[in-house]
Amino acid sequence: MALFRRNINLNSDNSTGFGTSSDASGSRFYRKDGTANVVKKGLTVFERYSWYHTMLSLPRWKFWLMLLLVYILINLFFAGVYLLIGVKHLDGMNARSFSDQFAEAFFFSTQTFTTVGYGRINPVGHWAGVISSLEAFVGLLSFALATGLLYGRFSRPVAFLKFSEMAIIAPYKGITALMFRMVPFKNNHLTDAEVKLTLAIKIEEEGNHVNKFYPLKVEIDKINALALNWTVVHPIDERSFLWQLSPNDLKMVDAELMIFVKAFDETFSNTVVARSSYTFNEIIFGKKFIPMYGPSENRQTTILDLDKLSETVPVELPVITPPSAV
């Protein structure tokens, strides 16, 4: 316990933006996808969310599903309006049953919305003309917005980095080290990549539950080019907060390793960032990563196997004598 107290008394860093009160924070600070584990309340949904940012950051399948749902709902609405004013205002409609009339009105709405206009059904009278004109206007605006969102998603700089599923404690130069791996999984070219590690813990101090944040120094914190995988190594020596700590110690303080990566993307000519984190149960002791790249059969190129990003094998940790108590 004295050794653990020594570690806690190391210099901490409170500039992470998450505050020092442990009672005021939830579980992990960052989710695995790098987003802050924060849910905002107190305002309406329309005030809390930037719909532009939301649509740009949605997963691909959710984005297309959202566009499809909006398209269907708008046409369902206008189909209902056409039936409300009467099918007699839609010349060329031959349907007799209500379901067939609704289907005809819906497909006429889609033709008007997209400005296709096949011509078999056409609006008759002022009401039908006003509604179809309004729908064509809404259609033009909708497609302009959808085009802007598609371009925004297509042109938005993204790091395209994958992190290993776990961080590991492995032997390293006679001691141990905390390690994790990251790899660019697209054909983008990242240069001047930098990484910063912060260990967050929750402890009781003078009767209060507080958050403390400790910067962890890495062996190499900047590389010229991120072409292959990058194994980030934090040597666990006497200067490290993790010195002589066990898995139970990390669990006791609800430890979380926060990762911040910044690099320059040559294609976008812009800086990209990526974040991730590992909680105490995602930090595995006694494992080491296996190599994930090697030469091709003709030895003319290097093969990077992305499937091996998180593959490890067991390894025995060295027994390190703790420093004598002062």
- Please check whether the two domains, 2-39+158-314 and 45-155, share a CATH topology: no
Rounded CA separation 68/66 (Å): 5
- Between strands 167-172 and 283-285, the pairing is parallel
Q: Which residue, among 244, 280, 248, has the nearest Cα to 3 in the 3D structure?
A: 244
Q: Which helix (H) or strand (E) holds 203?
A: strand 190-205
Q: Please name the residue that has the structure tokens 């990549």.
A: 193
Give the model's pLDDT for residue 128.
86
Treating both helix axes as pointing N-terminal to C-terminal, what angle do 60-85 and 98-113 enclose, rounded to 10 degrees? 120
Determine contact, residues 170/181, Cβ cutoff 8 Å. no
Give the chain's count of helices (H) and strands (E). 7, 16
User: Which amino acid, 288?
Assistant: K
Give the model's pLDDT for residue 267.
85
- Between strands 175-184 and 230-236, the pairing is antiparallel
Tokens of 128: 């039908």
Three-state secondary structure call for residue 77: helix
Tokens of 142: 């909708």
Determine contact, residues 193/261, Cβ cutoff 8 Å. yes
Strand partners, 176: 171, 236
What DSSP designation does 185 have?
-
Tokens of 233: 């190594």
Neighbour count for residue 298 (Cβ, 10 Å) = 6
For the chain, what are the domain ranges?
2-39+158-314, 45-155
Determine contact, residues 248/182, Cβ cutoff 8 Å. no
- Which CATH architecture describes the domain 45-155? Orthogonal Bundle (1.10)
Q: Please name the residue that has the structure tokens 């400790």.
A: 214
Give CATH superfamily name and number for 2-39+158-314.
G protein-activated inward rectifier potassium channel 1 (2.60.40.1400)
Integer-rounded Cα Rg, in Å, for the chain is 29
Statement: the pTM of the whole predicted model exceeds 0.75: yes
What string of pLDDT tens digits covers the 326 residues of the chain? 445 555 665 666 666 666 666 555 667 778 877 787 777 777 777 777 788 888 888 889 999 999 999 999 999 999 999 888 887 888 877 777 888 888 988 998 999 999 887 878 888 888 888 999 999 999 999 999 999 999 998 888 889 999 999 999 999 998 999 999 999 999 889 999 999 999 998 887 777 778 888 899 999 999 999 999 999 999 999 888 898 888 998 988 889 999 999 999 988 889 999 999 999 999 999 999 999 999 989 989 999 999 999 999 999 988 766 555 44
Q: Could you write out the DSSP letters of every residue in 87-151?
A: GGGEET----SHHHHHHHHHHHHHHHHTT---SSSEE-SHHHHHHHHHHHHHHHHHHHHHHHHHH
Rounded CA separation 232/221 (Å): 8
Neighbour count for residue 44 (Cβ, 10 Å) = 7
Give the model's pLDDT for residue 71.
95
Give the model's pLDDT for residue 39.
78
